[in-house]
Structure 1
Amino acid sequence: MTGNAEQKNVYRVQGFSCTSCAARFEKNVKNLPGVKDARVNFGASKVTVYGEATIEELEKAGAFENLKITPENERVEARKEPFWKTHGKAVLSAILLLAGYLLGQRFGEEHTLTAIVYAASILIGGYGLFNKGMKNLIRLQFDMNTLMTVAVLGAAAIGEWGEGATVVILFAISEGLERYSMEKARQSIRSLMDIAPKEALIRRGNEELMVHVDDIQVGDMMIVKPGQKLAMDGVVIKGTSTVNQAAVTGESVPVAKTVGDEVFAGTLNEEGLLEVKVTKRVEDTTISKIIHLVEEAQAERAPSQAFVDRFAKYYTPAIMILALGIAVVPPLLLGGNWGEWIYRGLALLVVGCPCALVISTPVSIVTAIGNAARNGVLIKGGIHLEEAGRLSAVAFDKTGTLTKGVPAVTDFIPLGEKDPKELLGIAGVIEKGSQHPLASAIVRKAEKENVDLSLEVEEFQAITGKGVKAKVKGELYYIGSPKLFAELNVSNLSQEMMNKIEEWQKQGKTVMVLGTNKEILALIAVADEVRDSSQDVIQKLHDLGIKKTIMLTGDNRATAEAIGRRLGVAEVKAELLPEDKLDYIKKLRNDYGSVAMVGDGINDAPALAAATVGIAMGGAGTDTALETADIALMADDLGKLSYTIKLSRKTLAIIKQNLSFSLGIKLLALLLIVPGWLTLWLAILADMGATLIVTLNSLRLLRVKG
């Protein structure tokens, strides 16, 4: 796409009542002259327009539903319409229906006055319905409005005025319930939008002033008093406090923050005064990204949603044809009564209305994704939500996932003549250039011992999967695994040394060796603390019926197996390079079908992408985790994993219940048509009841706790 097509604008839409209306609005927008493409997100009530279109043109495209359009970033105060304006027609229609019923009791159903009152009830309550239905009928577009319009007009034509009026009222109630349920589900996202304050106290020069978040710049100094919420992401420059991060990470326990720590918009400063240097603009804050990704997630069609959409596409026209057949065939071929069979055909039209079926999946998906976001779990689409419910195997990266990822040097044994501090200094300066997590442990150890790290390093080179080499003071040194030095065939690799290395490895420590290509100069043991929650999480996954848990690590086998045994992991794969992890995930997918990979989202990106569901730890403040993973656990809390699987399984179960119940009610009602027991009002009541039950069942997902 070039030119105008590159222009992309996102708008919020007020007034969507059903998925078919959203689809029709999308089609209308695509047909606007300056628009190349458009995408409607029904769950988040948004439309993305590629090309050029004015708000007036967009509102004209949505005039059939009286939609209101506003730019995405513009704050809109939801106007409370007066009750009479939104429900006045339905109430008046219901009063006229009651009046018609009373007149029917007095003068009989056939009386002209009764028919007139019923007709008035139908026209007042069903005007909007007929308006949409007749236009759709002319265009041969078969949706709920078309079915209802034909059914009500047909009922009036055969003199069933009372039934026609009842259908109009019950359909209005059913539509209201549908709208309410989607609003309730969307509310969980809207509550996220209101978490962060809209202005903050900023110090510029010597003065302090309240500034709207849109006008706050990166580098501004934000002052946050105790009891206030942070308006922007930043880094603490001055002060110490505890901050409640539940809004972003789902953690209920406040976190201590001091100089140099990262803080997030929407979190609550509890105790001390903080001065925070702003590091991101308002649209780039973590909470903004969460909201954006959650809204995008709602646009992603879950497999069950795609099935329902395909099904409804053929189902509605099929119901129209079947209803026509029931109304016409028996009277023509079998001498049946025209009035009776037309009535049965109309009852089929009404009961065939796919309201409950169409809403059953989106309301469940939107509710679950919203609930997860409030509990610090970011699920990036309905498909990932469903897949997480089907998992058979879960693979974990070790460092930073099952362990804290902050290794420390536990043992340092110098060999030979050189001064221990000099050896630690050589190891420290070389590892300063390495990206490996264990390298930082050696650097921290050297800094703690006040060793000089200003030596110059030359010809630094990583040896993939084995270690690094570099020249210090003109001499070439290696730091890496014992395997590397076995390959170098150094002179002093004794059996005693191998026994010491093995002993450390059995204790779960990683052994690093410093030396030249001729001799070993020092042995360094590094250990990474296991997370307190890891063992409990592995146990919970086994209790949930996960068939296999696997730990994948580049660490040596002895260390990995020591940690694996301690945690209760079913299988340990050690000494893996990134491509080995990728191959193993592919093998797991062949063996188990649905596999999750849990990592920190920074390394292991290929393995996260290859898994059925990639789950990243610590999404807050880590852009990579938010981008690469299908699901991000916003806090560094592995405990959220079992909650996510539980929520996903509950969602899958509720979707299945909803679909089965919706189709079961239809089937039962169809069977009642045969003996002629299905009345029009009973048909619409069955549909309305199904919609209500499906909605309430979906909203149960709000009760799944993190």
Structure 2
Amino acid sequence: MTSQTLTPTPERAAPRFTLSRELRLAVALTVLTLAGLLLGAAGQYLLASPPLMWAGYTLAFLAGGIPAGRAALHSLFVERKLDVDLLMVLAALGAASIGQAADGAILLFLFSLSNTLQDWAMGRTSSAVQALMNLNPEGATVLRGGQEKWCELGDIRIGDVLVVRPGERVAADARVIRGQTSVDESPITGESVPVDKVPGAELASGTVNLNGSVQAEVLRPAGESTLARLVTLMEQAQTQKSRTESLTERWESPYAMTVLLAVPAVYALLRFGFGLNVDDAWYRAMTFMVVASPCAVVISTPAVMLSAMAAAARGGVLFKSSAAVEALAGVRTVAFDKTGTLTQARMTLGDVIADDGHAALALAAGLEAHSEHPIAQAIVTAARERG
């Protein structure tokens, strides 16, 4: 017979965020693009050094343009669609062709930074999902054949009897059949005060048993538990798009195609309709393409939505989708049904009504000194504060 006891966790640990290999590469390329932009600007405006200027701008174009160019070619030849990646790269090259390499480098840097921030936000959202998944223990102690046996999470079946000791997390949704305890449900429901559990009460997976040992019958397998449904909702939230995101993505390809078709039309009109020379017509056509690039608008929306969802998840608020985040902007009234979540999330002693309040409080504190119940802790804390 083997068992495992988990250390009690009175406070939720913040999700640990680690940089993935792809994100580290994106950050490095963004830094190189910025470094190239600064070197080029220094060579052009401060030191009047053409070699330094072109070296810097070349670095910026390579670091910022190659990833975007690869993405643009993949969309063009694999997905058969034009997108703003291609429009942005061509706009940067067009700016360089008319002697405005600095403007092209700025475009590339902003585009690279936007992509990196979006990847960063997605990484933090994934970390929030992982933090939810980590609430499940690797297994649990199960009572089978009159003996306790350690079972992996996937081996726990409906009808199994879990033995949940103080400090352990509940491995699956279950109903208490023997024993009494208090359970910290804050990781799942946000309830700040531990909830007392008696025979017949249900336990949610991922919650923490505080002070009593109980036996509970499994109601649902781990894959269908409360915690599993929360994780599924978070994963779905990363794929569902708001109305703004859907609108920008829907018009991204037609807009890019319209701009790319309009550029030669603008050049031809200026060259042959208004009689401008080749250089002036080309300059104005390239200026038109740079100004028409909507890169920031297209990329900013998903980055903002994902950042908001990740920040909310770290604070214990789960949004089902970015559409819900967008809808929240129009909310003017919010009704709360749990006053405890709007306070300091801990009990305090209000008053002592007794002939000798000081002696009564001292006696009560002595009795409750070794208890972990929130009411007991409130009494002990008040006694210490009042000497």
TM range, smaller chain: 0.5 to 0.7
Larger radius of gyration: 1
Q: What are the superposed Cα offsets for residues 542-597 of structure 1, whole Å, 9 maximum, x if unpaired?
A: x9499xxxxxxxxxxxxxxxxxxxxxxxxxxxxxxxxxxxxxxxxxxxxxxxxxxx
Query: Structure 2 length as normaliser, TM-score?
Result: 0.67
Q: What SS does the corresponding residue of 1:236 show, helix, strand or coil? A: strand
| 2:58 is aligned with 1:119 | yes
What CA distance in whole angstroms lies between the structure 1 residues aligned with 2:142 and 2:55? 68
User: In the superposition, relative to structure 1, how do residues 79 and 96 fare at CA in structure 2: closer, same or farther (>3 Å)?
Assistant: closer
- 2:93 is aligned, of 141, 144, 153, to 153
Root-mean-square deviation (CA, aligned residues, Å) is 4.0
- 2:67 is aligned, of 128, 133, 155, to 128
What CA distance in whole angstroms lies between the structure 1 residues aligned with 2:243 and 2:294? 26
Alpha-carbon deviation of 1:138? 6.0
- 2:119 is aligned, of 168, 174, 179, to 179
| 2:135 is aligned with 1:192 | no
What CA distance in whole angstroms lies between the structure 2 residues aligned with 1:324 and 1:108? 34
| 2:229 is aligned with 1:286 | no
Equivalent residue number for residue 253 of structure 1 = 193
User: In the superposition, relative to structure 1, how do residues 332 and 370 fare at CA in structure 2: closer, same or farther (>3 Å)?
Assistant: farther
Alpha-carbon deviation of 1:269? 1.0
| 2:30 is aligned with 1:87 | no
User: In the superposition, relative to structure 1, how do residues 335 and 182 fare at CA in structure 2: closer, same or farther (>3 Å)?
Assistant: farther
Contact 1:323 1:348 in 2 (8 A): no
Contact 2:29 2:63 in 1 (8 A): yes
Alpha-carbon deviation of 1:289? 2.0
Equivalent residue number for residue 340 of structure 1 = 283
User: In the superposition, relative to structure 1, how do residues 135 and 202 fare at CA in structure 2: closer, same or farther (>3 Å)?
Assistant: closer
Letter in 2 for 1:261: A
Letter in 1 for 2:96: A
User: In the superposition, relative to structure 1, how do residues 155 and 383 fare at CA in structure 2: closer, same or farther (>3 Å)?
Assistant: closer
Equivalent residue number for residue 266 of structure 1 = 206
How many residues align? The count is: 320
Q: What are the superposed Cα offsets for residues 331-374 of structure 1, whole Å, 9 maximum, x if unpaired?
A: 443344235313422321435553345427743884598589x4
What CA distance in whole angstroms lies between the structure 2 residues aligned with 1:389 and 1:108? 49
Alpha-carbon deviation of 1:213? 0.6
Equivalent residue number for residue 443 of structure 1 = none
Alpha-carbon deviation of 1:105? 4.5
User: In the superposition, relative to structure 1, how do residues 368 and 116 fare at CA in structure 2: closer, same or farther (>3 Å)?
Assistant: closer
Q: What SS does the corresponding residue of 2:293 show, helix, strand or coil? A: helix
Q: What SS does the corresponding residue of 2:182 show, helix, strand or coil? A: strand
1:660-675 aligned within 5 A: none
Unaligned runs of 5+ in 1: 1-76, 392-542, 547-636, 644-706
Equivalent residue number for residue 302 of structure 2 = 359
User: In the superposition, relative to structure 1, how do residues 331 and 97 fare at CA in structure 2: closer, same or farther (>3 Å)?
Assistant: same
Q: What SS does the corresponding residue of 2:168 show, helix, strand or coil? A: coil
Q: What are the superposed Cα offsets for residues 375-401 of structure 1, whole Å, 9 maximum, x if unpaired?
A: 5xx87666677778879xxxxxxxxxx
Equivalent residue number for residue 172 of structure 2 = 232
Q: Which has the higher helix share?
A: 2
Alpha-carbon deviation of 1:230? 0.9
What CA distance in whole angstroms lies between the structure 1 residues aligned with 2:198 and 2:129? 31
Letter in 2 for 1:241: T
Letter in 2 for 1:103: G
Contact 1:243 1:256 in 2 (8 A): yes
Equivalent residue number for residue 244 of structure 1 = 184
Equivalent residue number for residue 166 of structure 1 = 106
Letter in 1 for 2:152: H
Alpha-carbon deviation of 1:263? 0.8
1:138-537 aligned within 5 A: 141-205=81-145, 207-296=147-236, 299-336=239-276, 337-351=280-294, 353-356=296-299, 358-359=301-302, 362-363=305-306, 366=309, 370=313, 374-375=316-317
What CA distance in whole angstroms lies between the structure 2 residues aligned with 1:83 and 1:302? 24
Alpha-carbon deviation of 1:320? 3.6
Query: Structure 1 length as normaliser, TM-score?
Result: 0.39
Letter in 1 for 2:68: L
Alpha-carbon deviation of 1:112? 5.7
Contact 2:37 2:106 in 1 (8 A): yes
User: In the superposition, relative to structure 1, how do residues 118 and 338 fare at CA in structure 2: closer, same or farther (>3 Å)?
Assistant: same
What CA distance in whole angstroms lies between the structure 2 residues aligned with 1:210 and 1:346? 66
What CA distance in whole angstroms lies between the structure 1 residues aligned with 2:41 and 2:258? 34
Letter in 1 for 2:105: A
Contact 1:229 1:267 in 2 (8 A): yes
Contact 2:81 2:253 in 1 (8 A): no
Q: What SS does the corresponding residue of 1:223 show, helix, strand or coil? A: strand
User: In the superposition, relative to structure 1, how do residues 327 and 225 fare at CA in structure 2: closer, same or farther (>3 Å)?
Assistant: farther
User: In the superposition, relative to structure 1, how do residues 83 and 257 fare at CA in structure 2: closer, same or farther (>3 Å)?
Assistant: closer
Contact 1:242 1:272 in 2 (8 A): yes
Letter in 2 for 1:231: A
Letter in 1 for 2:211: E
Contact 1:320 1:349 in 2 (8 A): no
What CA distance in whole angstroms lies between the structure 2 residues aligned with 1:135 and 1:297? 26
Alpha-carbon deviation of 1:272? 0.8
Contact 2:249 2:298 in 1 (8 A): no
Moved more, 121-130 or 295-304: 295-304
Contact 1:197 1:230 in 2 (8 A): yes
Q: Which has the higher strand share?
A: 1
Letter in 2 for 1:126: G
Equivalent residue number for residue 668 of structure 1 = none
Letter in 2 for 1:155: A
Q: What SS does the corresponding residue of 1:354 show, helix, strand or coil? A: helix
Moved more, 143-152 or 357-366: 357-366
Equivalent residue number for residue 14 of structure 2 = none
What CA distance in whole angstroms lies between the structure 2 residues aligned with 1:545 and 1:279? 34
Alpha-carbon deviation of 1:144? 2.0
What CA distance in whole angstroms lies between the structure 2 residues aligned with 1:262 and 1:381? 28
Letter in 2 for 1:363: L
Equivalent residue number for residue 592 of structure 1 = none
User: In the superposition, relative to structure 1, how do residues 345 and 78 fare at CA in structure 2: closer, same or farther (>3 Å)?
Assistant: same
Contact 1:242 1:269 in 2 (8 A): yes
User: In the superposition, relative to structure 1, how do residues 174 and 190 fare at CA in structure 2: closer, same or farther (>3 Å)?
Assistant: same
